[in-house]
Amino acid sequence: MVSYVDWSKAKTILIFAFIITNILLGFVLLSSERQVETTTKEGFIEDVTEILKSKNIFIDTNISREIPSLSTLIVEYDFVDFTKVNNNFFQGNGTIESKEQNTAEIFFENESIIVTNKKNLVYENKKTTKEYKDLDEEKAKDIALEFLQERKYDTSDMVLSYISLKEDGYYLEFSKLYKDRYLEKSSTIIELDETGVKRMERTWLNILEERDTPIYISTAPKSILSLLSMKEVYGKTIKDISLCYYFEPTDHNDYMKDPKEAKKGKTMPAWRVLFDDGYKVIIDNYNN
C-alpha cells in the first residue's frame, strides 16, 4: 500500500514549526544578551570603582552582578490612629490636641507625640533619670525592640539596617523587609541613651498585593555612576548596595501635586545605597 503526502497539511505543519523555532530562538538570543551584559563584567566594575574614587566616593562592599528585576508591590501607608497610639504609649492618659485634619499632638508628663498626615509619627521623651548602664550596640538594639513591642508594634517584618554610636547615645534605623528585600521608604528610627528611648520617628508601609510581572532596571555598577552628580556623597564610603522595593508618591500622577495626600500605590525596583555615616541614596534607573 502506498501512502501519499498531503502537501497542504504538510505546508501548514512546516509553517507552524518555523514560527515555534523563531520564538525559541528569540528566547535564546534574549537570554544570551542578558548573560553578556557588559556592565557586570569585572573590567567595567573596576572602572566604575576608580571613577567614583576620583570623587572620593569609596566602596567597601560587594557590587552585585545580577541582572536586576523585582515584581511590583501594591502598598499603603500604616495610618496612625490617635486614640490607639494614646492607649499604646500612655495607657490612654495622654492629652490629644488636633488643630488640623490628620494631624495631632499627644502629651503626657515628659513625653510627647506629633503625628502628621496620619502617616508620620515622632515621639520624644525629655526625662533625665538614667535607667541603663554600660550601653553597647546589642543592648541598644534590645532596648529599642522592647520599646516597640511594649507599644504593640509588630517587629517580625523589620531588621536593624543601621546603627551608630553618637556623642550621647545610639542612633538605630529599622527597615521593613519583604522576601529578604528592603522596602523603601519604610523605616523606624530610634535614638536612645542611658535614660532610655529619647526619640522615635516612624513612617511605615503595609503590603496589600504582589504582582507577577518582573520589572528590570539597570545593573548596580551602571546605576551607581549616577552618584557622580551628587556632591553630598563626596568623601563618603559605600557600605551596602541592595536591590529594593521602592515607593515614591511623587512618581504617581494622583499625588504629584501633593505627595502628602498619598495613601497607597505601587513600588518599583531600585538600588538602595547606604553610606558609612547612615546617609542613604535610592537609585531607580530603568535605562538598561
Supply the CATH number for residue 50's domain: 2.40.128
Residues 58 and 139 placed together within one structural domain of the fold: no
Q: Within a domain: residue 10?
A: no
pLDDT in tens, 109-157: 999 999 999 999 999 999 999 999 889 999 999 999 999 999 999 999 9
Among 152, 168, 203, the domain boundary falls at 203
Among 180, 203, 226, the domain boundary falls at 203
Q: Using the predicted structure, report yes or no on whether residue 36 has a pLDDT greater than 60.
A: no
Cα pseudo-dihedral 126, 131, 135, 137, rounded to 10: -70
Task: Show the cell assigned to 77.
Answer: 501607608
pTM over 0.85: no
d(CA 138, CA 128): 22
Q: Using the predicted structure, report yes or no on whether residue 226 has a pLDDT greater than 70.
A: yes
Residues 69 and 84 placed together within one structural domain of the fold: no
Instruction: Report the chain's terminal Cα–Cα distance, integer Å.
Output: 61
Q: Within a domain: residue 155?
A: yes
Q: Within a domain: residue 97?
A: yes
Residues 232 and 249 placed together within one structural domain of the fold: yes
Residues 139 and 93 placed together within one structural domain of the fold: yes
Q: Using the predicted structure, report yes or no on whether residue 3 has a pLDDT greater than 90.
A: no
Q: Within a domain: residue 170?
A: yes
Q: Where residue 119 sits, what CATH number does that domain have?
A: 3.30.310.160
Mean pLDDT of the chain: 86
Residues 50 and 108 placed together within one structural domain of the fold: no
Q: Using the predicted structure, report yes or no on whether residue 1 has a pLDDT greater than 90.
A: no
Among 150, 168, 203, the domain boundary falls at 203
Q: Within a domain: residue 111?
A: yes
Residues 161 and 176 placed together within one structural domain of the fold: yes
Task: Write down the pLDDT at residue 106.
Answer: 97
Q: Within a domain: residue 173?
A: yes
Residues 264 and 217 placed together within one structural domain of the fold: yes
Residues 187 and 274 placed together within one structural domain of the fold: no
Place of cell 542613604: 280
Q: Look up residue 276 and give its DSSP letter.
A: T
In the chain, % of residues over pLDDT 90:
72
d(CA 9, CA 279): 67
d(CA 258, CA 277): 31
Q: Domain total for the chain?
A: 2
Task: Write down the pLDDT at residue 95.
Answer: 97
Domain that holds residue 166: 79-203
pLDDT in tens, 4-29: 334 344 344 334 434 443 444 444 34
Task: Show the cell assigned to 276.
Answer: 558609612
Q: Within a domain: residue 25?
A: no
3-state secondary structure of 51: helix
